[in-house]
A and B are shown apart, each in its own frame.
Chain A
Amino acid sequence: MSEKTDIGRELDGALQKPKRQLAMVFDLNKCLGCHTCSISCKRQWTRDEGMDNMWWAVVNTQPGKGTPKNWEDMGGGWDEKGEPRPSKIPTRDEFGDAWKFNKEEVFHGGKGKVTYLKPVNTKGESPDWGPNWDEDEGGGEYPNSHFFYLPRICNHCTHPACLEACPRGAIYKRDQDGIVLINDKQCKGFRFCMEACPYKRIYYNHVQDVTQKCIFCFPRVEKGVAPSCARQCPGRLRFVGYLDDEDGPIHKLVHQWKVALPLHEEYGTQPNVYYVPPMSPPAVDSLGKVDPSKPRIPTAYLESLFGPRVKEVLAVLEAEKEKKAKGEASELMDTLIVYKWPEDIFPDFVQDPAEL
């Protein structure tokens, strides 16, 4: 990978690149779908007015429609020629609104026996979608039904479509670590960023009239504390570090072992969140006969998310897993297992926030 496609990009003929780039790797083989990442982020960052429907960190069931619903069909990002792809603003309903319940009526209004809890959205309507409406549905036909979890945050892209769409210059990429931030003093709530982001990870705060998104927990990161989604993750699958740190797990997984892949690289924004694709048991026929040549999760589906190297990556993972099973050494498996927490998973961000 050339230096340019690694962490830099050309803008107006000049190479723009931050001094360093922070990145995350999510090992999808370890994700439990517990949403602790989402909750820890929510508690830390999105409890203010106008943020009730915001989930900067989500966990989607794949195959599935995602958050917002059908975001992969919305456009945004860059086409093959580097031109912006027009898109749309995802609606509150598509994200899945924050619901209100008639708790007063049911619990205190003496109607506990004649009515039941009913959610309504901000418009007062009965919702027909939510942030995890299709959780655990997945795809495939019995006996080859399958699903896996896909945690998603802002990708802090190297070529951020949001940044370049903003007419206010309110979005910037930090030089010291490549974190992409929205300056809410400059933002006027025009929402072009929400259109341009192909991953649809930007929310609109209708109370404050600004857009808001994952900030890679920069106030924590600046104090050596890992982002809350990563530190709180019970599955310990969220690696955090600098892409250029050759001793760190990020560099090992992305560049040395090359088993961590960007989501929808074809969107052209060069995301800095990478995924170790999920392995799956072999497919079986209706009589229960195993077909070891076919994985339960169709490779073509994984390729539609993580690109053409999926097969190769899964083969490396299988081979290394096999080694480990035989009692042989595997640096890759040891890295993915994370024997020592937190130093093996985010070595530069081991500070316990409780001790600050």
Chain B
Amino acid sequence: MLVKRIDVNGDVLGDPAASVWSTANGETVPLMPTPAAMQPTKYISTKWQNEVYGQTKSVSVKALRNADEIAFRLEWQDPTKNEQRIENTDFPDAVAMQFPLSEDASLFMGGEGTPVNLWYWRADHPARARSDVAHGIGTSRVMDDVSISAQAVHANGRWSVVMRRALSVTKEAASAIQIVPGQTVRTTFAVWEGGNLERAGIKAFSPAWLELEIEA
């Protein structure tokens, strides 16, 4: 998918309702539930093996860049808006993107020596996403050294979320993806339906890398 360059203000890119998004290329990425057997603990596998989860069927992805920022617009169907975290059983809706930080990083949260960078947005903190690094299932760590701003709208049973970040990051380059114009990056997606108590590895994920060509 081509990530077009469009020289608009970053705040325009950051708005999921901005008309500029109609000019962006898009892709509908199919999602599937993460296998119960791959959950990091036996408790989680046992508890969820007969439960229905990860039913978000796809996420519509668009991306644009301007001179110094990149923005991803993710939209998916979710009839229940879960943004609270007060009751012990409250889990907010969430979405994430995964970028490999090395050529042979595993789709499943990277691995030892082959880390991945995760951009994680959650409905209880709608205005920012977190930048995490992971070296395998169950290892993700928050690296709050990179700022990812976000804006989200829930309307007509759908979430639309834009995550926006500087193309290049200088600090802690080892744990955050560098987006270089003219090059390609790969990414995958995950969606959590909070209303179904989905969190951690209980989610819908895209089982193949989506290649993004960053327009020079």
Contact = CB atoms under 8 A, between A and B. Distances in A.
Contact of A84 (B47, B87, B137, B201): B47
Contact of B43 (A89, A164, A168, A189): A164
Given A84-B46, A192-B200, A166 B41 contact: yes
Interface string B24-62: 000000000000000111111011000000000000000
A161 B138 CA distance: 17
Contact of B42 (A89, A91, A92, A164): A164
Interface string A59-87: 00000000000000000000000011011
A90 interface: yes
A84 B43 contact: yes
A87 B44 CA distance: 10
A165 B87 contact: no
Contacts of A165: 41, 43-44
B54 to A, nearest CB: 16
Given A169-B138, A188-B200, A194 B88 contact: yes
Contacts of B199: 190-191
Interface in A135-190: 161, 164-169, 188-190
B85 A206 contact: yes
Contacts of A191: 88, 199
B18 interface: no
B184 interface: no
Nearest to A167: B40
A122 interface: yes
A33 B89 CA distance: 31
A172 to B, nearest CB: 14
A83, A191, A195 interface centre (most CB from chain B within 10 Å): A191
Given A84-B47, A167-B201, A190-B200, A91 B87 contact: yes
Interface residues of B, number: 20
A166 B200 CA distance: 10
A167 B200 contact: yes
* Contact residues on A (Cβ < 8 Å of other chain), bracket: 20 to 34
Interface in B90-132: 90
A257 to B, nearest CB: 36
A167 B201 CA distance: 8
Contact of B88 (A164, A169, A204): A204
A280 B46 CA distance: 42
A209 B47 contact: no
Contacts of A83: 42, 46
A189 B200 CA distance: 10
B39 A167 contact: yes
Given A167-B201, A190-B200, A196 B88 contact: no
A123 interface: yes
Contacts of A169: 138
A83 B200 CA distance: 21
Interface in B54-93: 85-90
| The 6 nearest A-B residue pairs measured at CB | A165-B43, A167-B40, A84-B43, A86-B47, A204-B88, A190-B200
Interface of A: 83-84, 86-87, 89-93, 95, 122-123, 161, 164-169, 188-192, 194-196, 204, 206, 209
